Amino acid sequence: MVLNMKVKIGIIISLIFILNLIVISKYYSKPQTTFKEQKNIFAQEKYYLEKNLDRYNSYYATHPDLKIKDIIAIVNVDADKKAYENNQKADVNKGNLILVNKYNYLEENYTPANLMNMSTKFAYQDKQTIVEVNEAFINMYNAALKDGVNFYITSAYRSFTYQKELYAKYLLNYGEDYTNTISARPGFSEHQTGLALDILSEHVQMSEFVNTKAYKWLKENSYKYGFILRYPENKSYITGYAFEPWHYRYLGEEIALKVYQENITYDEYYAYYLAN
Ligand SMILES: [Zn+2]
């Protein structure tokens, strides 16, 4: 009887011990889904913005396979929202640093100050840009020539009206989905700022420009003259545009260097350092 009692107590203690083990192991193997833990995952990332935490969480919930750093980039630039439908007026007070994309637009009557005609020595007929951009481009052009590299401008400032015609032409030829990856709606084009240039090589198709010496040179050197490659390869989920090796955006030397060094898109740079 006494022995039986000891056996019973032994069995009960063992059961309690096993139950404890089960509870403890379940607790520690639980996936990290609590609010507090998710916040910590995001907060460790460089471009984390506290104000976007709720949006990081909801985007993560519907896109669990994405990298945390990509979720942060997407939300920071508003790409978790539908393009063109969640937009605001671009902040024209930012001057050369103005952000124009599928979420920040310019009004129909916006025309940059200090527009001038570019020389046909390096630009197609009737190309206009801002005086400061023209000077920076000439410096870049001359430096490239010294390295045996030549290029010319096919597109610079584009008015709202011109962009409207261009977008309509693309729509007619390609339909809306594809057009939206290659052309901006009127008001949403960076070319309306006067700060964007399309640069190509002579006798080279746009689709072949990526393979040229000129593209390689621009990619490695344009920041020294204040320009950045605006729609880089594999970044269309952030910029909303397919890779455009020919499209350069003037920011001035200081900021162009920073964007180049951090190796992020201008949309991301603006959201993190310049918005607000
Ligand atoms: Zn362009």
* Tokens at 42, concatenated: 């995001």
Overall fold of domain 88-274: Muramoyl-pentapeptide Carboxypeptidase; domain 2 (3.30.1380)
Query: What is the Å distance from ligand 1's center to 154 Cα?
Result: 9
User: Considering 107, 176, 202, 244, which one is annotated as catalytic?
Assistant: 244
Unique residue bearing structure tokens 């090589």: 201
Query: What is the Å distance from ligand 1's center to 247 Cα?
Result: 4
Q: pLDDT tens, 143-201? A: 999 999 999 999 999 999 999 999 999 999 999 999 998 999 999 999 999 999 999 99
Predicted local confidence at residue 4, as pLDDT: 73
Contact between residue 231 and residue 36 where contact means Cβ atoms under 8 Å apart:
no
- Give pTM, 2 decimals: 0.84
Query: What is the Å distance from ligand 1's center to 231 Cα?
Result: 9
pLDDT category at 38 given cuts 50, 70, 90 is very low
H or E element that contains 149: none
Task: Label the pairing between strands 88-89 and 104-105.
Answer: parallel
Contact between residue 149 and residue 213 where contact means Cβ atoms under 8 Å apart:
yes
Can you list the positions of beta strands (E) in the chain? 88-89, 104-105, 115-117, 128-130, 152-155, 196-200, 227-229, 247-250
Q: Is 116 left (phi over 0), alpha (psi -120 to 50) or beta?
A: beta
Measured at the CA of 230, the angle between CA 251 and CA 55, to 5 degrees, comes to: 100
Q: How far apart are CA 199 and CA 219, in angstroms?
A: 12
Contact between residue 60 and residue 35 where contact means Cβ atoms under 8 Å apart:
no
Query: What is the Å distance from ligand 1's center to 178 Cα?
Result: 16
Predicted local confidence at residue 7, as pLDDT: 72
Confidence check: pLDDT of 34 > 70: no
Q: How far apart are CA 193 and CA 106, in angstroms?
A: 8
* Tokens at 200, concatenated: 């190509």
Q: pLDDT tens, 102-126? A: 999 999 999 999 999 999 999 999 9
Query: What is the Å distance from ligand 1's center to 192 Cα?
Result: 10
pLDDT category at 40 given cuts 50, 70, 90 is confident
DSSP code, position 82? P
Task: Label the pairing between strands 152-155 and 196-200.
Answer: antiparallel
Query: What is the Å distance from ligand 1's center to 48 Cα?
Result: 30
Whether 244 is catalytic is yes
* Tokens at 112, concatenated: 């940059």
Alpha helices in 101-186 (DSSP H): 131-146, 160-174, 176-182
Measured at the CA of 184, the angle between CA 117 and CA 167, to 5 degrees, comes to: 85
SS3 of residue 101 by DSSP: strand
